[in-house]
Chain A
């Protein structure tokens, strides 16, 4: 088994081993085969679900090729977000600058596709060749009357988290530009849910049943006009805190809109989200409706969850996610199914996230920041897990070692949020760990000591 690299040791922690100390939010170690992506990736995934905007990637072709129709983020109307547009810069553009090409692309695409707004993503070399993307965007804006927003997402300028920040800055150019006169005092924005497999729709329906108006969904099933009106809501409900908290903070400063953090994964967290919202509005009727809703929904899914639990309890899992917020809900959801989490990590957790994880997890649990492939292999084998939860990049790590895997990333096509989502999650776990194929693989005999 490969050794942990010396320079990585401070980003790995075993609960109970001495006083809490852990490093994170560092640039990834060169050569370490990190599971992270880049600034552009952060911006792209956050803004992607805005379905009536045109998303133009300014740079060579690769960044657009790899992110075409990549998320499982659904739209109830326009499907423009599922296309991939790029200026596809060539050698001559790199030499002479890409501004003219960008201008030309924008004018033609806007005339043909008639989007409600445009996001222009800068990729690595755009900053280096000196294109004034903002100026081109302003000019096209003037000429077309459309909002054209420059997203400063050059890949090397930080980590994925910086990409979230750039996306939030872009969004805040839209917020505050729409008419808010007809918005109810019982109203909120859903921030940080991306409508993977219709999750935003489920959450929106819960709030509707509580008598609360959803002004905008940022960005799942997102629409430019709704985001323009977001400042008319009384509350921002923020999931996936890493990606959306910047916008929530800015809206608090600028418009005085308070925000709360929630998670829609797992029965406990989902219920708590609804209660917290009802409590915020201090409305007895809303609270009563929330209670009824929670009771009804849990009654609906609990029997099946308990049946699944009898099959899967006693298994062990590892978790590796993009943001850390999801890890908490996953540990809790697995606990509900009788599954212990042996290691848990994320690409972009904050010091606060990891400290809370340490408190939340069982003794001995390994906590890791920005793991690389070899570390995931090592932890998976060492802790003898039956199940790894992560994204597609982690899938082959599990499968090659004969371990079950559940996709909990943004490319999945199964909704895992909300009460119904917890049932789907349990079914996924069940299909993963109960499959008879694992019986054909002798995990115990996997030779871990002989590299």
Chain B
């Protein structure tokens, strides 16, 4: 077995990455009165719909230019034109977010030029067309997400008198985390534009009518104002800077940019809340002081259960980075940090935030797949895994618990309501981790103690 384990594979086995257009679709779904549209084959939109429906358990409508053989030979202009027309007739959107697929890019479609032409053909009152280049042979779903946020901002941001409002590019987080962030900003008295905001589109109540699908989300008017904001906050500090919306605004309008890690755990949240205190000029509201205090109190209650527990972390690099800092603060050891995407910066980040000695002992892999994670994890003998549902097989084979976090979570209910951000979100995550460890200990005990 050991000789087999050292085999290096050119193929990707059990992929961690989803494709770039998926991220773009999530962004466009989080803009009010916007419809996501893929320029490519019918299957791309259907597979991505299927995948997101499995995770959010909510309707996900994605239109498609639906290439045929002739579109591949003669180009997709006619399909794009017809598709946009159909979408306007059916959904009456104010914005159509068009992402390319590998097929459109490979045949050399000049989407920006096509979009300009189409926009000119549309009446004044017609929808705004935004395009983003997301060939799936380039990057991962998280890259597609960032590129789409940037594309929207570049298209819509306008100059004007400076305001007190702030921009928040919060990255790929759960609807419940978006809602929690909104509460936090409100309590600080901050007028914040969160882009994208799919908290309702991907986690709504029963509908009075289906068209509601596209109505909720970040208002186009708010996005227009983002060039006039007093500052931008962008989560995910190990991501690709060239695809940063905050960076684009900094360059174009001089809007100050604060790049922060996802606020998970006490240390990273303290940084986040300090930033909000400075931006708002308000002291941290007492409810968050209370949340912070209770979180630390629970750390104390549970510290022996988690101390020294070896953890395998996997997911997008920016999530893995923040989670590693959090685990370190509670005495758990992230023995393996596996990033689905490729930033090249994860190791450096961990060395900076955990110190070189600890970072040295962490196995860090980027651009990996689940077969590789499993082979590495087996040798490290972890106590727990943290990541999306695709790690379930590893958890089953290694007989260690899996705390589900990220996307996809298609074997449990409530993916939309999982939180990790803020002191309160961390509290939920912390409780889940501790309880997963306790449950395993209890189940594996020959005694079966009823009190732990």
Contact of B441 with A by CB under 8 A: no
Pick from A36, A60, A373 the residue with the most CB of B within 10 Å. A60
Are A41 and B47 touching (Cβ within 8 A)? yes
Contact of B288 with A by CB under 8 A: no
Range, interface on chain B:
35 or more
Are A374 and B10 touching (Cβ within 8 A)? no
Are B47 and A112 touching (Cβ within 8 A)? no
Are A34 and B12 touching (Cβ within 8 A)? no
Contacting residue for A94 out of B8, B11, B137, B204, CB 8 A: B137
Chain B's closest residue to A44 (CB) is B43
- Chain A residues contacting B8 (CB-CB under 8 Å) are 108
Are B9 and A83 touching (Cβ within 8 A)? no
Contact of B22 with A by CB under 8 A: yes
CB distance from B29 to the nearest CB of A (A): 13
Q: A32-B90, A448-B209 are in contact. Are A61 and B136 (CB under 8 A)?
A: yes
Scan residues 169-208 of chain A and give those whose CB is less than 8 A from a CB of chain B: none
Contact of B294 with A by CB under 8 A: no
- Chain B residues contacting A209 (CB-CB under 8 Å) are none
- Chain A residues contacting B132 (CB-CB under 8 Å) are none
Contact of B255 with A by CB under 8 A: no
Contacting residue for A155 out of B22, B44, B65, B89, CB 8 A: B44
In angstroms, Cα B62 to Cα A33, docked, is: 6
In angstroms, Cα B42 to Cα A31, docked, is: 10
Are A400 and B72 touching (Cβ within 8 A)? no
CB distance from A34 to the nearest CB of B (A): 6
Q: A33-B62, A62-B47, A451-B211 are in contact. Are A124 and B103 (CB under 8 A)?
A: yes
Q: Kindly count the residue-residue contacts between A and B in the assembled complex, taking CB atoms under 8 Å apart.
A: 231
Scan residues 248-264 of chain B and give those whose CB is less than 8 A from a CB of chain A: none
Are A61 and B66 touching (Cβ within 8 A)? no
Q: A66-B48, A374-B90 are in contact. Are A30 and B65 (CB under 8 A)?
A: yes
- Chain B residues contacting A34 (CB-CB under 8 Å) are 42, 46, 64, 66
Are B61 and A33 touching (Cβ within 8 A)? yes
Are A393 and B50 touching (Cβ within 8 A)? yes
Binary CB contact string for chain B from 391 to 404 against chain A (1 if under 8 A, 0 otherwise): 00000000000000
Binary CB contact string for chain A from 420 to 449 against chain B (1 if under 8 A, 0 otherwise): 000000000000000000000100011110
Scan residues 81-119 of chain B and give those whose CB is less than 8 A from a CB of chain A: 82-87, 89-90, 101-103, 106-107
Contact of A310 with B by CB under 8 A: no
In angstroms, Cα B209 to Cα A91, docked, is: 43
Are A65 and B40 touching (Cβ within 8 A)? no
In angstroms, Cα B68 to Cα A67, docked, is: 22
Pick from A5, A124, A127, A372 the residue with the most CB of B within 10 Å. A124
Contact of A243 with B by CB under 8 A: no
Q: A83-B13, A105-B11 are in contact. Are A66 and B59 (CB under 8 A)?
A: no
Contacting residue for B4 out of A35, A68, A112, CB 8 A: A112
Are B106 and A85 touching (Cβ within 8 A)? no
CB distance from A446 to the nearest CB of B (A): 6
Contacting residue for A396 out of B17, B43, B57, CB 8 A: B57
CB distance from B19 to the nearest CB of A (A): 3
Contact of A306 with B by CB under 8 A: no
Are A109 and B107 touching (Cβ within 8 A)? no
CB distance from A401 to the nearest CB of B (A): 7
User: Could you pull out 26 A-B pairs where Cβ atoms are within 8 angstroms?
Assistant: A5-B89, A29-B66, A30-B82, A31-B66, A33-B90, A34-B66, A38-B46, A61-B17, A65-B17, A67-B47, A86-B12, A87-B10, A88-B15, A90-B137, A94-B135, A104-B10, A105-B10, A105-B11, A112-B4, A124-B101, A125-B137, A156-B69, A397-B210, A446-B208, A447-B208, A447-B209
Q: 10 extra interchain contacts, Cβ-Cβ under 8 A, other than A393-B49, A451-B209?
A: A28-B42, A31-B87, A33-B90, A38-B42, A56-B11, A60-B135, A62-B102, A124-B41, A156-B71, A447-B208
Report, nearest first, the 10 A-B pairs whose CB atoms are least far apart. Answer: A38-B43, A62-B19, A31-B83, A31-B86, A30-B83, A88-B12, A105-B11, A60-B136, A155-B41, A396-B59
A interface residues (Cβ-Cβ under 8 A, vs B): 1-3, 5, 7, 27-41, 56, 59-68, 83-91, 93-94, 101, 104-105, 108-109, 112, 124-125, 127-129, 155-159, 372-374, 377, 392-393, 395-397, 399-402, 441, 445-448, 450-451
